[in-house]
Structure 1
Amino acid sequence: MTIDETRSADKLQLNVHGKVDANASPELQNEILKAFQKCPSVILNMQDVPYISSAGLRALLIGQKTAGSKGGKFLIINASESVVEVLRVTGLQKVLSVQ
């Protein structure tokens, strides 16, 4: 998994590429937390993520919780069908902001 970032005036977008599994999720979590230190609104572009594990879901929940505690926003965009299905089945699609 690799992550690159794009920044605009009031938003920071993290573009995630590759599988978010147990090995990659600590890096994703770390990048999300670092992004919130730089900007209150973080967008996670998951267009190139074919798979997410339960450990990856934990990283997303930590992102959502961090946004709430900082009065910011955490948005997931362009999630693949398989990722959206995992979010739907686990009920997290109702907790996370997914577009």
Structure 2
Amino acid sequence: MSFEHHSSDEQGARLVQLKGRIDSATAGAFEQAVQDLFATPGARALMDFAAVDYISSAGLRVVLMAAKRAKQAQGRLLLCGLPQHVREVFEISGFLKIIDSVNDRAEGLRQLAA
């Protein structure tokens, strides 16, 4: 399976919907999709993983890079919709201790709008 992404502006935040496999073959496309999320100081972004089947360390690196850019820009990054098998990868790697996540897109947009 390939990787797809779609970005849109929702309630003052950037929503990035991800789909498919995020691995070494697709991490470059993922990085391009999120590299400008925090170009504006104070930007807010929500990454929706609901349709992600798999994420490798290469994909985790891109998420970490986005989180660092959010911090530098005094913005906020939230993850949402993590399927159980993807959530386990984030938990094992320790990422959920440093990057906030919520259950679903509606909750994420609500938190970013607050």
Does TM, scored on the shorter chain, surpass 0.5? yes
Provide the identity percentage: 22
Greater strand share, structure number? 2
Deviates more, 1:77-86 or 1:2-11: 2-11
1:76 corresponds, among 66, 71, 79, to 79
Equivalent position to 1:50, from 53, 59, 62: 53
Rounded Cα–Cα distance in structure 2 between residues aligned with 1:69 and 1:34: 13
Which structure 1 residue ranges, 5 or more long, are not aligned? none
The answer for the alignment partner of 2:105 in structure 1 is none
Q: Secondary structure of the equivalent of 2:45?
A: strand
Alpha-carbon distance in 2 for matches of 1:84, 1:74: 16
Q: d(CA) in 2 for partners of 1:70 and 1:25?
A: 23
Deviation at residue 37 of structure 1 after TM alignment: 2.8
Q: Secondary structure in 2 aligned to 1:18?
A: strand
2:27 maps to 1:60? no
* Alpha-carbon offset, residue 35 of structure 1: 2.5
Paired residue type of 1:64: A
- Higher mean displacement: 30-39 or 55-64: 30-39
In 2, the alpha carbon distance for the partners of 1:26 and 1:97 equals 23
**Mapped partners of 1:5, 1:34: distance in 2:** 11
Is contact 2:23–2:54 with CA below 8 Å preserved after alignment? yes
Q: Does 1:26 align with 2:28?
A: yes
Structure 1 outlier segments of 4+, above 4 Å: none
Match of 1:35?
37
- Cα RMSD between the aligned structures? 1.4
Which structure is larger by alpha-carbon Rg, 1 or 2? 2
Q: Deviation at 1:71?
A: 0.5
Q: Is the 8 A contact 2:4 2:19 kept in 1?
A: yes
